[in-house]
Structures are given as structure tokens and as C-alpha cells.
Structure 1
Amino acid sequence: MESDQSADEGQEEVDDPLTRDDTFEILSNHRRRFALHHLQQNGDRADLGDLSEHVAAWENDIGVAEVSSSERKRVYTSLQQFHLPKMDEKGVVEFDDREGVVELTAAAGDVDIYLEVVDGNDVPWSQYYLGLAAVNLGILGAALAGLYPFTLVPSAGLALLVVTTFLVSALVHTYFNRTEMRLGDSDTPPEVEG
């Protein structure tokens, strides 16, 4: 009876959706993000050795064929002993340590979030939209104050300008998020420069 109860408790944990804290904990480590990326990119299932090679390649910014045995072993051990068991515990993957196979679960869909990777002098999208709103507000304020040349543009033209700038920005933002910022949607993880 005790084993039935523990099996039921384990099933409840898997059926529960991931909490925000669980999601952030899983995504807080680059090896776990890289592992999720590889699994999503390659049919939701991978051999631990193959997974280790890809994660090591991304970590060292080299091709898979260039990964040394020590780099692969370091990642393999870390994934096997720490990262994959943690992800298995949270219900994101099923990790069979004896077989050396990792498989995504349905709960991995809860981790399918956009990552905003901002390199160097790039501006985060949130700051971009704040700046765009400030510029549009300045233009509308100048037109309402009757400042030349803004008085030459009809109100409908100004409204069209504001809507168009946000529409174009949102389309570009959506494009980048779908093609470059999502785990599993590109050859390399979003944070690895191609």
C-alpha cells in the first residue's frame, strides 16, 4: 500500500504544471538551457553522449567534431549527476540513467518561453518600446501645442504614424522572437552567437 501511495504522489507532481520558480530554476543554468534546446531541436529525445557533445560544443564555441574527450566528459558528468536528475524531478524530462536516454515530457512546453538575449550595445525590447512611446508622445504633444511643422500634418496622419510605428515594431519583434530567441528553433541556442 505504501508503494501505491508514493506512486500516486509522484504522478501528482508530474501532472502539476511548472511553477514560475521551477521554470526559472531550470533556465538558470546554461547547460540545462542548452540541453532543452538540443532536445527540442532533435525530436524531443537524445542519447546522453550525443547531448553532452552538443552542449560541450556550444559551451566552448566550437564544432561538435572539435570537442575534446575531457570537455565531453566534464559536461556528461555534470548532466548525468546533477542537471538531468533535477530536470527529471521537475517533470520536464524523463531521464533513464541506466540507458543513458533523455526525453522531453509534455511539461517541457511550459518552459517554451522567449529568451531576450541582449548582446553588446543592443537595446532590450522593453526599453525600445518605452523610447518609441516617448518619441510618439513628443510628436503628438508638439502637434497639439501647434508647433511648426507638426501643424502641417493632419490629426489622422499623426494617428497613422503612431499606429504604424508600433505595428512595424511589433512585427519585427515577433519575427526575432520566433526565429532567434526561442529554445529549439535555431541551430544554436539563442545565447550562443552563430
Structure 2
Amino acid sequence: MTGEVNTEGELDEAEIFHILGNDRRRATINGLAESGGSIAVSELAEQIAAQEADNEEDAQKLYKSVYVSLRQTHLPKLEEQGIIQYDADDQRIMPGGRMNEIQVYTDGSTGLGAMQRSVYLVVSVVGLLTIVGAQLGVPVLDALAVEVWAVIFLTLIIVLSVYQQYR
């Protein structure tokens, strides 16, 4: 893409909501986040067409429209805002400098996902400290065996994981 990348300051919420107000731009951000680093435009267009279509035949018919709209409209907009980087030679997109800034507002791995990871971190750290404290004979913590504390905290982590998976 040839547009000038706007990386001055942070994106304001109005611009973020404008960007995310389009299903294909949201799907682009989420698809890129799930790809683990970069994704071919053709692969992304296939994914988006499959999401929008009712069946595989409709997805194949929709593919060209999705591909063209990505190349002509959505990728330039996202690149202009510094959310993605687009390699025209390889036909691949990569995260831009502002990808994390906008992912907070999507269903991607930040936002609620970040909060959930924080809960796991807190439970793990408290569990570790409790187990070490019980091992060292800290009053109250030594009321239960180290193994019991370990089972309690591992069970808590499993329950949190199951809850997250099936909520």
C-alpha cells in the first residue's frame, strides 16, 4: 500500500470504533492475531468468505468479492492507521505498531483474555507462595500438607480453565 502511516499519538476511541465498525476489518484483525505473526491475503480472504457464507459453495462465490474489498478498502485503512503492515510483493500482512492498541477492543487474545491470564497468574503465584509457605512451616499455612495445597490450587486452575472453555 502506498498511503502514509499515521502513528502520531494513540488512536482515539471514535477512530477505533470506526475501524472496528466493519465486519471485514474486525475479521482481518482477529485473523491476523490468530495467525501468530503473518497471513497471506488470499488465506485471510478465504477465512472471511467462509465466515460470511452459509456453505462452502457460497464461500467460493464470495471469495473474490472479499479479496478485492480487502485489497482496495480494508487493508489500506488498517495500514494507514498503523494497525497492520502489508507486503505487496508477498501479498502478506503482519501486525503493525498499533495492533495491540486496537486488539483490546476485539475478540482477540487481549482485553478479556488478558484479564483471564491475569487471574491465572494471580492464582498461580498465590498457590506457589502458599505451597512454599506450608513447606517452610509458616503458621496457618502449615495446617495443611504441601500436597493438599498443591491439589487445591491445581484444582482451582482446572476449574477456571473449564469455566473459560465452556462459558
TM-score range with shorter-chain normalisation?
A: 0.5 to 0.7
Q: Tell whether 2:29 aligns with 1:31.
A: no
Q: Check the 8 A contact 2:79/2:96 in 1, yes or no.
A: no
Q: Tell whether 2:71 aligns with 1:80.
A: yes
Deviation of 1:113 after TM superposition, in Å, equals: 2.5
Identify the match of residue 94 of structure 2 among 77, 83, 103.
103
CA distance in 2, matches of 1:115, 1:109: 10
Q: Check the 8 A contact 1:22/1:90 in 2, yes or no.
A: no
Give unpaired runs (5+ residues) of structure 1. 1-9, 117-171, 181-194
Mark the structure with the bigger radius of gyration.
1
The TM-score normalised by the length of structure 2 is 0.56
Deviation of 1:79 after TM superposition, in Å, equals: 0.2
Q: Check the 8 A contact 1:80/1:97 in 2, yes or no.
A: no
CA distance in 2, matches of 1:115, 1:100: 24
**2:12 paired residue number:** 19
CA distance in 2, matches of 1:88, 1:107: 10
Percentage identity across paired residues of the two chains: 28
Comparing 99-108 with 22-31, greater Cα deviation is found at: 99-108
Amino acid across the alignment from 1:81? Q
**2:113 paired residue number:** none
CA distance in 2, matches of 1:33, 1:56: 13
Q: Check the 8 A contact 1:91/1:107 in 2, yes or no.
A: yes
Give unpaired runs (5+ residues) of structure 2. 108-159
Paired residues for 1:102-181 under 5 Å: 102-114=93-105
Deviation of 1:104 after TM superposition, in Å, equals: 1.0
Cα-to-partner distance string for 1:6-56 (whole Å, 9 max, x where unaligned): xxxx57x32522221221111000001111111000113110100100011
Number of residues paired by the alignment? Answer: 110
Q: Which aligned segments of 4 or more residues in structure 1 are displaced greater than 3 angstroms?
A: none
Q: Check the 8 A contact 1:46/1:103 in 2, yes or no.
A: yes
**2:83 paired residue number:** 92
3-state DSSP class of the match of 1:17?
Answer: coil
Higher relative CO (Cα under 8 Å, sequence separation at least 6) belongs to 1
**2:33 paired residue number:** 40
**2:46 paired residue number:** 53
Q: Check the 8 A contact 1:53/1:67 in 2, yes or no.
A: yes
CA distance in 1, matches of 2:25, 2:15: 13
**2:153 paired residue number:** none
3-state DSSP class of the match of 1:110?
Answer: helix
Amino acid across the alignment from 2:102? V
Amino acid across the alignment from 2:64? K
Q: Check the 8 A contact 2:82/2:96 in 1, yes or no.
A: yes
Q: Tell whether 2:59 aligns with 1:67.
A: yes
